[in-house]
């Protein structure tokens, strides 16, 4: 495939990724009870008496449906970023160093996790690490073929 066809294909993939993100967010917005309810996510228990100390237990658990949806959206955003980087490489005919790709992906995931989804920072860092390892292994295999 020549560069024009690759660029068109990557733009198509970016469009599909953005469409998936908008679709998932629209479904979540229109049906907020689809993913969780307050009863499912937390519980509060008060134990006490008239003459003694009172204890309040608060418990919460991860709603894995929400965590998996958020990580899926972050993964799609990462692939969109990688496609944009590839388009820039094809247009400018200049290779972007691996370290810059990993820094961009790490910073975008970290910022999105901190500001939009603070409950999944650990999972986001884990997913980002896996993506970075995948990119590094892909580049090593590409160098061995050359």
What does the alpha-carbon distance between residue 69 and residue 21 come to, in Å, rounded to a whole number?
A: 10
Q: What is the pLDDT of residues 2-18, one digit of tens each?
A: 778 888 888 888 888 88
Do the domain assignments include residue 15? Answer: yes
Do the domain assignments include residue 55? Answer: no
Higher pLDDT, 35 or 18: 18
pTM, two decimal places: 0.65
Do the domain assignments include residue 119? Answer: yes
Range of the structural domain that residue 29 is part of: 3-35+63-145
Number of structural domains in the chain = 1
Do the domain assignments include residue 26? Answer: yes
Do the domain assignments include residue 27? Answer: yes
Burial class of residue 70 (count of CB atoms within 10 Å of its CB; 0-12, 13-18, 19+): buried
Do the domain assignments include residue 48? Answer: no
What does the alpha-carbon distance between residue 52 and residue 146 come to, in Å, rounded to a whole number?
A: 76
Do the domain assignments include residue 42? Answer: no
Q: What is the pLDDT of residues 92-143, one digit of tens each?
A: 777 777 777 778 888 887 787 777 777 677 777 787 888 888 878 887 887 7
Do the domain assignments include residue 51? Answer: no
In this predicted structure, the answer to whether residue 145 has a pLDDT above a threshold of 80 is no
List helix spans (H) across the chain. Answer: 3-30, 38-41, 64-92, 98-115, 121-145
Q: What is the pLDDT of residues 41-91, one digit of tens each?
A: 555 566 666 665 666 666 666 667 777 787 788 888 888 888 888 888 888
């Amino acid at each position: 495939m020549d560069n024009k066809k690759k660029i068109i294909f990557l733009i198509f993939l970016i469009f599909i990724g953005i469409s998936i993100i908008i679709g998932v967010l629209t479904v979540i917005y229109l049906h907020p009870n689809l993913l969780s309810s307050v009863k499912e996510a937390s519980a509060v228990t008060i134990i006490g008496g008239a003459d003694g100390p009172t204890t309040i237990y608060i418990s919460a658990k991860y709603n894995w449906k929400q965590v998996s949806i958020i990580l899926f959206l972050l993964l799609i955003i990462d692939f969109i970023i990688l496609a944009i980087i590839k388009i820039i490489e094809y247009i400018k005919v200049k290779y972007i160093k691996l370290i810059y790709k990993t820094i961009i992906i790490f910073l975008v995931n970290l910022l999105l996790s901190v500001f939009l989804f603070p409950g999944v920072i650990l999972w986001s860092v884990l997913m980002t690490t896996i993506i970075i390892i995948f990119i590094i292994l892909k580049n090593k295999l590409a160098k061995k073929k050359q």
